[in-house]
């Protein structure tokens, strides 16, 4: 189904410049770049294009903010946490404006944008609660020794975030870094810089000292590489594709061997067992792939279904997919917005074409959904084989590939037969089988009788080429502090 309502609220674009040292700056090279509305393909505005010179300026500001005698370093932990809570409160205060801005720039339905912002505020508050609990330990030593550890901030942290969850990925990065006392240079995705720049104004309003958070919009090859390769940035965190993640890690190693954490792509399996409640399984599988127009690194893009229920599963999944409303994300009826840009749109359509050519059966969708913008109809393929392109490569679009299996031992090997390892799921009434799969599936998150159930207190990250390091929860703090051992001889 398509939404025909073309109305959209007028959204004033308030901030388009680079945010350094709590001030707004034009790009050093005098250039700007266009930001596009994916619902129409039309330009929203021009944003200042950050390059290496701007990153250098941000690093100088951050270094000053991290000086041992700076106001930020002298804050008691509770004061740091209070600033974070203030920022979270401002996110909630401005949720209507921010949601409209996020939807204009990213294309997700406006209610989804609101959900992202509430979750982001919760994430910041969650880490605000950690500020006075980041503790070391005492260690037994000789009779005349006192040995203990300190957890200290790493320093200047470069953070490069993606376009699929702009505000939420910002919160996942800022929360633990600020809780540990670091300073930050954040590069939003060039496709979706607007909400991050607005949040920069909220960070200043909350009372963070100058230089603690700096936001530099720009592209990956120039601005992102400047962050990854900078000699005076101590740590870089990146969320995005495996291809770019490898470049980030290489640049970090070749520069100053800065610490790196990566959350990369996925080709996640969802296994539907023969004893599954079929209606529930269809609902979970639908949500697993089509949420956020399938622009989700943990998307359940390989749906393995037991042969005994395969045909019924396909029929019901097609029926549900045809009820999905694709179109204007400001329309309350819409459940799926556009893909992020023209290149992604064309890439997804090329994957759909490859699925047809390699012999998979197109059950529904497979084509453009609206006259304007980058909309694609929810697409389902049956008869998918493991060696097909649509079953091996991350599509990042609304394409459900349904594979048939008979043997549980066999499907486990097939599910693990990928270079990715971000998420996995299993739907079954047999708890022993579910827990066995949870043990044996090679993924950073395994969901039993659910999918993509992410919460702030549970760690998130990947096995294999889906990255290393964890975000969220207590584990998310580990990427943002150094462990120092102190040995005192008692004399």
Phi, psi of 104 (to 5 degrees): -60, -45
How many alpha carbons lie under 13 Å from residue 376 in its C-beta half-sphere?
30
- As given in the structure block, the two tokens for residue 291 are 């949420």
Catalytic residue among 263, 363, 394, 471: 263
- As given in the structure block, the two tokens for residue 53 are 């010179």
Tell me the three state secondary structure of residue 403. Answer: strand
Cβ burial, residue 490 (10 Å; 0-12/13-18/19+) = exposed
Q: In Å, how far are 47, 115, 217, 336 from 193, measured between CA atoms?
A: 8, 19, 6, 21
* Helix (H), strand (E) counts: the chain: 15, 22
Phi, psi of 456 (to 5 degrees): -65, -30
Residues 6+ apart with CB under 8 A from 262: 237, 238, 239, 245, 248, 249, 467, 468, 469
Q: Indicate if 371 belongs to the active site.
A: no
CA 360 and chain centroid, separation: 30
Residues 6+ apart with CB under 8 A from 114: 95, 96, 99
Are the beta carbons of 220 and 229 closer than 8 angstroms? no
Distance CA 243, CA 221 (A): 12
DSSP run (H or E) holding 155:
none
Distance CA 433, CA 276 (A): 12
Are the beta carbons of 123 and 175 closer than 8 angstroms? yes
Cβ burial, residue 353 (10 Å; 0-12/13-18/19+) = middle
Q: Give ∠ CA 63-203-215 in degrees, rounded to 5.
A: 55
Annotated catalytic residues are: 263
């Amino acid at each position: 189904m398509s939404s025909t309502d073309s109305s959209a609220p007028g959204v004033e674009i308030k901030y388009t410049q680079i945010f350094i040292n709590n001030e707004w700056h034009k790009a050093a090279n005098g250039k700007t770049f266009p930001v596009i509305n994916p619902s129409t393909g039309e330009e929203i505005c021009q944003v200042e294009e950050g390059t290496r010179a701007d990153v250098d300026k941000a690093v100088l500001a951050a270094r000053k903010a991290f000086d041992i005698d700076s106001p930020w370093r002298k804050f008691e932990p509770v004061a740091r946490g209070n600033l974070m809570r203030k920022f979270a409160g401002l996110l909630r205060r401005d949720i209507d404006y921010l949601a409209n801005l996020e939807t204009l720039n990213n294309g997700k339905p406006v209610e989804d944008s609101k959900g992202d912002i509430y979750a982001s505020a919760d994430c910041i508050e969650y880490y605000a609660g950690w500020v006075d609990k980041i503790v070391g330990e005492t260690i037994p030593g000789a009779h005349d020794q006192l040995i203990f550890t300190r957890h200290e901030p790493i320093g200047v942290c470069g953070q490069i975030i993606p376009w699929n969850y702009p505000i939420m990925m910002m919160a996942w990065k800022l929360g633990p870094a600020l809780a540990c006392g670091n300073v930050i240079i954040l590069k939003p995705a060039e496709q979706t810089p607007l909400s991050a720049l607005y949040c920069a104004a909220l960070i200043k309003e909350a009372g963070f000292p100058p230089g603690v958070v700096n936001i530099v919009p720009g592209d990956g090859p120039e601005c992102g590489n400047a962050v990854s390769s900078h000699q005076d940035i101590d740590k870089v965190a990146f969320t995005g594709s495996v291809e770019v993640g490898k470049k980030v890690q290489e640049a970090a190693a070749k520069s100053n061997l800065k610490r790196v954490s990566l959350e990369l792509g996925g080709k996640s399996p969802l296994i539907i067992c023969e004893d599954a409640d079929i209606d529930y399984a269809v609902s979970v599988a639908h949500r697993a792939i089509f949420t956020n127009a399938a622009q989700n690194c943990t998307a359940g893009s390989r749906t393995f279904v037991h042969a005994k229920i395969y045909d019924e599963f396909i029929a019901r999944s097609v029926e549900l997919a045809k009820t999905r409303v694709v179109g204007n994300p400001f329309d309350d009826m819409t459940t799926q917005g556009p893909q992020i840009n023209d290149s992604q749109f064309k890439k997804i359509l090329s994957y759909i074409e490859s699925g047809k050519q390699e012999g998979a059966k197109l059950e529904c969708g497979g084509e453009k959904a609206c006259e304007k913008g980058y909309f694609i109809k929810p697409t389902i393929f049956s008869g998918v084989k493991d060696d097909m392109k649509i079953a091996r490569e991350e599509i990042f679009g609304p394409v459900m590939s349904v594979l048939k299996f008979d043997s549980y031992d066999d499907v486990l090997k097939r599910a693990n037969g990928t270079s990715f390892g971000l998420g996995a799921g299993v739907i079954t009434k047999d708890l022993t089988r579910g827990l066995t799969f949870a043990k044996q599936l090679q993924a950073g998150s395994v969901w039993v009788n659910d999918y993509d159930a992410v919460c702030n207190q549970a760690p998130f990250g990947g096995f294999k080429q889906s990255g290393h390091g964890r975000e969220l929860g207590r584990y998310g703090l580990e990427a943002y502090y150094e462990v120092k051992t102190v040995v005192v001889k008692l004399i």
